């Protein structure tokens, strides 16, 4: 639900006003995007350490992070691999797959999904430069989509921004309204701010600054959102991990500090003044001062004289380091439970686990991945619908809109498990083509090649059988008719 009333678009806004409002929304998102990016990269300062502890350790732990904020989204993204796009009739759309590979979308879609998991959203822009469709995935901080009020998915406008270091550029896509066609506006401003003005830098001679959208009544910018609730905004998968991540980092810092003191036990000398030594003037040989002897030297030399009668040595008891480890382990277990990440991914506790037990441990992650496939699939299906329109094929676009995205099986199984399952499907009459498509990692073109090879093999077998029949079939009767034979036998 959009609540930023100050930057709400109006149909009467000028292009410059729309760019300014949408850019302001991007700026408001930037703080959270930067925070989540920092968490994913492990760049997180100690949050729960006391001022006294920070003063004592200085910047010793500034670059340390036991980073679970990277493991959680990475584990989920591994289960989200696009295999194919099917039309309304359930068959593979070969043209869609060609465009998918030609634009490197098959590679970059994984990055776009990872960005959506980490910072709540990413974007895809579809365009047709030179009459050929193009798909470009855009980070969250460089694009924004505005929706028609009262709807959840009808795009009204979209903004794409980037910078060359001296100027900031913006391309605004606006949906058609009553009496006005869909338009594309190009604007620019200096990087230190200022007003948005008509773009004059970086345009080719053939390019128009403002033009009717060649994509028709479409905003060619699609938000790939990590959805959470019906009325809520897209959210990051690491938002709920961050507090526990801060606690784990601080506990490790305390543990390392305690371990340092345990390695060099803290001792105290009782009943004796601090040892000193005379400072002698090298020229006169006179004692000019008395200075304390650095106590660290005694620890280094492992030697100490106690010259005063009754002096003794005491030692502070070391902290129990196992207590820190138990709390850290409990925090990691909470992360696993809250994010439905299997324990073996976080704790490394996997030894002699039965296949059924392993499948049960991953059931939560698999269910979560299947749910993400549903939502991300709707966004990617819209991307490919726009690609078909950009390619000038509205019939294919309509078919893709009613089709589906085929994902790799979210449940990782062994080869033996897949073979057993496919054999059982075969026994109840599932066609070979359908079984081949169930094999993980098998591309649609591989299935097509297998079908061709099977048909060629069947044709070759039929030809060989026909040749054999013609060469070794029944021979003509060479002994005359049957009546003569009978008479001969009678005689």
Specify which of 193-197, 203-207, 341-345 reaches the highest per-range mean pLDDT. 193-197
Residue 169 maps to a domain: yes
- Kind of pairing, strands 121-127 and 143-147? unpaired
211 - beta bridge partners?
A: 184
**In this predicted model, which residue has the larger pLDDT, 110 or 57?**
110
Tell me, yes or no, whether 101 and 200 share the same domain: yes
Residue 214 has pLDDT above 70, yes or no: yes
Residue 447 maps to a domain: yes
Tell me, yes or no, whether 315 and 452 share the same domain: no
Q: What confidence score (pLDDT) does residue 378 get?
A: 95
CA distance 460 to 129: 47
Tell me, yes or no, whether 326 and 226 share the same domain: no
Confidence of residue 436 (pLDDT cuts 50, 70, 90): confident
Tell me, yes or no, whether 325 and 427 share the same domain: no
- Kind of pairing, strands 143-147 and 155-163? antiparallel
The answer to whether the beta carbons of residues 204 and 372 sit under 8 Å apart is no
Q: What confidence score (pLDDT) does residue 125 get?
A: 97
Residue 247 maps to a domain: yes
Tell me, yes or no, whether 44 and 190 share the same domain: yes
Tell me, yes or no, whether 274 and 374 share the same domain: no
The answer to whether the beta carbons of residues 68 and 341 sit under 8 Å apart is no
Residue 360 maps to a domain: no
- DSSP H stretches of helix in 239-362: 242-263, 295-301, 321-339, 343-346, 355-361
Q: What confidence score (pLDDT) does residue 355 get?
A: 67
What are the distances in angstroms from CA 232 to CA 2, 120, 151, 174, 400?
A: 9, 12, 14, 25, 28
CA 222 to chain centre: 17
* Tally of domains within the chain: 3
Confidence of residue 324 (pLDDT cuts 50, 70, 90): confident
Tell me, yes or no, whether 249 and 127 share the same domain: no
Look at 13-27, 181-195, 424-438, 456-470 and tell me which has the smallest mean pLDDT: 456-470
**C-alpha closest to that of 448 among 456, 251, 440:** 456
pLDDT digits (tens, 9 = 90+) for 261-313: 766 666 777 777 777 788 888 888 888 888 887 766 666 666 676 777 777 77
Tell me, yes or no, whether 189 and 80 share the same domain: yes
Q: What confidence score (pLDDT) does residue 383 get?
A: 97
CA distance 329 to 323: 10
Tell me, yes or no, whether 186 and 105 share the same domain: yes
Q: What confidence score (pLDDT) does residue 285 get?
A: 81
Tell me, yes or no, whether 227 and 295 share the same domain: no
Residue 171 maps to a domain: yes
289 - beta bridge partners?
A: 279
String of DSSP letters for 444-463: HHHHHHHHHHHHHHHHHHHH
Residue 95 maps to a domain: yes
Residue 322 maps to a domain: yes
Nearby residues of 141 by Cβ (< 8 Å), 6 or more positions away: 26, 29, 30, 33
The boundaries of the domain holding residue 189 are: 5-234+368-389
Q: What confidence score (pLDDT) does residue 490 get?
A: 45
Tell me, yes or no, whether 251 and 209 share the same domain: no
Residue 483 maps to a domain: no
Once rounded to an integer, what is the mean pLDDT over residues 37-61? 81
Tell me, yes or no, whether 23 and 102 share the same domain: yes
């Amino acid at each position: 639900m959009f609540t930023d009333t100050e930057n709400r678009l109006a149909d009467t806004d000028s292009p410059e006003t729309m760019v300014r409002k949408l850019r302001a929304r991007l700026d408001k998102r930037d703080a959270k995007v930067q925070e989540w990016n920092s968490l994913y990269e492990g760049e997180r300062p100690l949050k729960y350490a006391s001022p006294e502890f920070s003063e004592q350790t200085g910047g010793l732990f500034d670059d340390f992070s036991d980073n679970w904020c990277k493991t959680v989204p990475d584990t989920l993204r591994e289960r989200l691999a696009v295999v194919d796009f099917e039309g309304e009739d359930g068959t593979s759309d070969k043209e869609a797959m060609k465009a998918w590979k030609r634009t490197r979308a098959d590679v970059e879609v994984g990055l776009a999904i990872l960005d959506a998991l980490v910072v709540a959203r990413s974007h895809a822009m579809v365009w047709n430069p030179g009459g050929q469709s193009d798909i470009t995935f855009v980070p969250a901080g460089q694009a924004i989509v505005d929706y028609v009020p009262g709807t959840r998915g009808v795009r009204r406008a979209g903004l794409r921004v980037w910078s060359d270091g001296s100027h900031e550029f913006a391309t605004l896509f606006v949906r058609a309204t009553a009496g006005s066609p869909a338009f594309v506006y190009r604007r620019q401003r200096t990087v230190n701010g200022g007003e948005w003005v008509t773009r004059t830098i970086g345009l080719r001679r053939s390019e128009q600054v403002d033009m009717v959208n060649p994509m028709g009544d479409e905003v060619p910018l699609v938000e790939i959102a990590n959805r959470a609730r019906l009325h809520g905004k897209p959210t990051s998968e690491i938002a709920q991990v961050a507090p526990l991540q801060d606690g784990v980092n601080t506990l490790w810092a305390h543990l390392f500090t305690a371990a340092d003191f345990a390695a060099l036990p803290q001792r105290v000398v009782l009943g004796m003044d601090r040892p000193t030594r005379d400072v002698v003037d090298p020229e006169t040989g006179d004692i000019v001062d008395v200075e304390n002897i650095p106590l660290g030297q005694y620890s280094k030399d492992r030697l100490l004289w106690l010259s005063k009668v009754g002096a003794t040595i005491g030692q502070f008891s070391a902290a129990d380091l196992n207590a820190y480890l138990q709390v850290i382990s409990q925090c990691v277990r909470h992360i696993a439970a809250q994010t439905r990440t299997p324990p073996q991914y976080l704790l490394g506790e996997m030894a002699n686990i039965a296949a059924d037990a392993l499948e049960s441990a991953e059931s939560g992650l698999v269910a979560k991945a299947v749910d993400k496939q549903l939502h991300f699939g709707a966004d990617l299906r819209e991307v490919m619908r726009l690609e078909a329109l950009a390619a000038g094929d509205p019939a294919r676009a309509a078919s893709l809109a009613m089709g589906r995205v085929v994902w790799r099986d979210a449940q990782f199984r062994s080869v033996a498990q897949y073979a057993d399952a496919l054999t059982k499907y075969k026994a109840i009459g599932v066609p070979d083509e359908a079984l081949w498509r169930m094999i993980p990692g098998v591309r649609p073109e591989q299935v097509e090649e297998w079908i061709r090879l099977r048909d060629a093999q069947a044709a070759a077998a039929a030809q060989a059988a026909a040749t054999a029949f013609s060469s070794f079939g029944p021979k003509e009767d060479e002994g005359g008719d049957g009546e003569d034979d009978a008479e001969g036998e009678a005689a």
